[in-house]
């Protein structure tokens, strides 16, 4: 496999996932990118430690999905099965505990855990439906 630094140099300005806008930092929509920022630290294409947290909607059902890189060596070379998605519980205590268990066992990067917990809360908050206020006639 190619060295991650070399792969990043090839991908950082030429990826199809890059989103550029005036007066904004360069963003990316690649799978496995936790913050959506186009940096090697968060890259889902070049980094060995891939971590992404996204909302997934199937019909009316909404779920939270964690994306990581497969631990199997044979999958590292096949882009179609390289990333593994895991469902995260939406409970008040179960979801953060599951994230702590998965991220804590895999990486020793507490800043990623903090960012993942913040994003988890924002995704969960986005699932709330607005209440329609009825006006008295």
The 10s digit of each residue's pLDDT in 10-60 is 888 888 999 999 999 899 988 888 888 999 888 888 887 788 899 998 888
Q: Identify whether 86 is part of a domain.
A: no
* pLDDT confidence tier of residue 108, bands split at 50, 70 and 90: low
Q: Identify whether 15 is part of a domain.
A: yes
Q: CB atoms < 10 A from the CB of 112, how many? A: 18
Q: Which domain holds residue 9?
A: 1-48
Of residues 79 and 5, more confidently modeled? 5
Regarding pTM above 0.75, the answer is: yes
Q: How many domains does the chain have?
A: 1
Q: Identify whether 63 is part of a domain.
A: no
Q: CB atoms < 10 A from the CB of 103, how many? A: 23
* Average pLDDT value for residue range 70-89: 84
Q: Identify whether 56 is part of a domain.
A: no
pLDDT at position 137, please? 66
């Amino acid at each position: 496999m190619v060295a991650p630094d070399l792969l990043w140099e090839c991908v950082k300005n030429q990826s199809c996932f890059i989103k550029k806008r005036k007066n904004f930092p360069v963003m990316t929509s690649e799978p496995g990118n936790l913050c959506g920022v186009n940096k090697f630290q968060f890259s889902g294409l070049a980094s060995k430690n891939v971590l992404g947290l996204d909302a997934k909607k199937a019909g009316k059902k909404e779920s939270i999905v964690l994306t990581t890189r497969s631990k199997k060596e044979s999958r590292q070379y096949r882009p179609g099965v390289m990333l593994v998605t895991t469902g995260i519980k939406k409970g008040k205590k179960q979801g953060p505990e599951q994230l702590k268990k998965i991220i804590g066992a895999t990486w020793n990067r507490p800043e990623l855990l903090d960012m993942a917990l913040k994003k988890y809360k924002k995704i969960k908050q986005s699932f709330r439906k607005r209440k329609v206020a009825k006006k008295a006639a």
